[in-house]
């Protein structure tokens, strides 16, 4: 539905073009982006039902643990999603796969936040 493995390699490539230009996110990533691009592509291929090469090479994804070294606040989350949403268009991922992926990325990026937003969310008070 997404367009096979090639679609995910195109998606990862388009995503990292955005990362390369991002002043907040770029410094978090390794100097050479090629290996990171491949890790993301293989992860997406595996997650969306393709071959399990990612886990053969990297083990269990454990995404929250693997993101612990990086400060993922609201701004980082929003920027990551902005680049991924632009990449979904640029890589011409067809519907309805695009919408399924957009929802998954939005939820996962929120889940990966590991520092609180600048403005605390009001609990309603006691
Ligand atoms: C919320 C904002 C996010 C930030 C700031 C962020 C940042 C990073 C950084 C700096 C890396 C290290 C790059 C590398 O060497 O591979 C990384 C790795 C990775 N990220 Fe994210 N990420 C975010 C969200 C996500 C989301 C939503 C997903 C998946 C749905 C994801 C999947 C991955 C994967 C699969 C890796 C490689 C893990 C490994 O095998 O080492 N990330 N991320």
Report the distance separating Cα 21 and Cα 54, nearest Å.
26
108 C-beta closer than 6 A to ligand 1:
yes
Would the pLDDT of 125 be above 90? no
Centre of ligand 1 to C-alpha 125, Å, is: 35
Would the pLDDT of 119 be above 80? no
The string of pLDDT tens digits covering residues 67-83 is 999 999 999 999 999 99
29 C-beta closer than 6 A to ligand 1:
yes
Q: Give the per-residue pLDDT at 82.
A: 98
> Topology of 4-111 in CATH?
Globin-like (1.10.490)
Return the closest-CA partner of residue 73 out of 15, 118, 23.
118
Overall pTM surpassing 0.75 (yes/no): yes
| In the chain, where the domains are located | 4-111
Mean pLDDT of 38-59: 98
Contact by Cβ (8 Å): 12, 45? no
Per 3-state DSSP, the chain is made up of helix, strand and coil in percentages (nearest 5) of 60, 0, 40
Centre of ligand 1 to C-alpha 40, Å, is: 7
């Amino acid at each position: 539905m997404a367009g096979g493995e090639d679609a995910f390699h195109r998606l990862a490539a388009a995503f990292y073009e955005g990362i390369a230009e991002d002043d907040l996110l770029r410094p978090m990533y390794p100097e050479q982006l090629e290996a990171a691009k491949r890790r993301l592509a293989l992860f997406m291929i595996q997650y969306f039902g393709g071959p399990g090469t990612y886990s053969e090479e990297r083990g269990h994804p454990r995404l929250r643990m693997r993101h612990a070294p990086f400060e993922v606040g609201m701004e980082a989350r929003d920027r990551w999603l902005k680049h991924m949403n632009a990449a979904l268009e640029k890589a011409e991922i067809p519907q309805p796969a695009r919408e399924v992926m957009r929802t998954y990325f939005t939820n996962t990026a929120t889940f990966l936040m590991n520092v609180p937003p600048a403005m605390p969310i009001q609990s309603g008070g006691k």
